[in-house]
Amino acid sequence: MACARQPWCRVCTVLASLLLGGCGPALEELSGPTMGSTYSIKYVPAQASADRAGIQAGVLAILAEVDQQLSTYRADSLVSRFNALPSGSCMAMPEAVLSLVKAGEQLSHESEGAFDLTIEPLINLWGFGPQSRGEQVPSAEQIAAARTQMGHQYLQVDGRQLCKQRALQLDFNSIGAGYAVDRVAALLEQQGITSYLVDITGELRAHGRKPDGSFWQIGIEEPQPGQPVAARVLALDDLAVSTSGDYRNYFEQDGQRYSHSIDARSGAPISHRLASVSVVDPSAMRADGLSTVLLLLGPEQGFEFAQQRDIAALFISRTDKGFVSRGTRAFDSRFAKGAGR
């Protein structure tokens, strides 16, 4: 997803995936705009208990609901209304939103604070958010001030209410699109569809086989400008893929490059050589969040984090001689080069 200035531009991630293979005569495809980007769904229609129009209506309803709940670019969304509340406030939230908050809390804990759903003040400060005043390099004092309005530990779930002890501003862009993919996949399976490929703003999940018996295939994009080129091709079955990178959304000032991927611990964009990281997981939401975490942690700490937790991840780093990729043990065992799945 090329997400510069798009409403659902993810805080710390840029998906770099290239769909491979078109729709044959035995495949149905649904597509259209969503969340400032696009969605595409391919599936085997013979399995469906509902017709194409019914399935599309269900998909659009899910996408509209997710946008109304989580978009920080809509003043009437639930998250925007919560963000506008002062410190000490509580607001009733749907169970889905509360579950996302809890998932974010776990990722924040696992990453020792690098990942934080309350990072919105920093995103705006650096010029990448809905309330930004243009791309800029803020002062240390401005960063310190923004961080006083952050902290997942100041966010609490109390029954069906979400409460904040500081004037926190939430941003779900690092897990929201993956969550939407999981919701759409669940809808398809409820309709009896067991072979599909879902792509929402670049977050992907595949299940089953195509009519010719082959796996769904996706490409991990080489993190460089110009025409997309697949660095690796993966064959998927009942798995999701998310790729985070720092090469699509950034600005330059005084010869320095500033990525939209901001580490909540430092309050500044990442500055290491990790260009992109792809995560494969049964859950698109989890893959979405983990790819963000690993990009923030960087090529060494992130790789060790993934190894210790048996995460299937592919890291692509910049070197003086070009890009170098390496996969974790879990990734290499599942996707040996040339072996696909």
Mean pLDDT by 10 residues, the chain (341 residues): 38 41 72 94 88 96 97 95 97 98 96 95 86 81 93 96 96 96 97 96 95 92 74 92 79 72 89 92 98 96 98 94 93 74 46
**What's the domain range around 96?**
69-164
Name the residue among 114, 142, 104 with its Cα closest to residue 296.
114
Identify the pLDDT of residue 226. Answer: 67
Give the global pTM. 0.90
> Is residue 157 in a domain?
yes
Nearest to 289 by CA among 265, 306, 269: 306
pLDDT of residue 139: 92
CB 113 within 8 A of CB 237: no
CA–CA separation, 81 and 334 (whole Å):
43
Within a domain: residue 336? no
Q: Is residue 143 part of a domain?
A: yes
Task: Compute the distance between CA of residue 332 and CA of residue 50 in angstroms, rounded to an integer.
Answer: 39
Q: Say what angle helices 284-297 and 301-308 make with each other, to 10 degrees.
A: 140
Residue 183 is assigned to a structural domain of this protein? no
Establish if 117 belongs to a structural domain: yes
- Cβ pair 97, 162 in contact under 8 A: yes
- Distances, alpha carbon 96 to alpha carbons 35, 69, 70, 78, 244, in Å: 18, 9, 10, 12, 24
Number of domains present in the structure of the chain: 1
Decide if 270 is inside a domain: no
88 in any annotated domain: yes
Helices (DSSP H) in 21-71: which residue ranges?
A: 52-70
Domain with residue 106: its CATH number is: 1.10.3980.10
Confirm whether 119 is domain-assigned.
yes
Instruction: For helices 95-110 and 284-297, give the axis angle rounded to 10 degrees.
Output: 30
What is the reported pLDDT for 250? Answer: 61
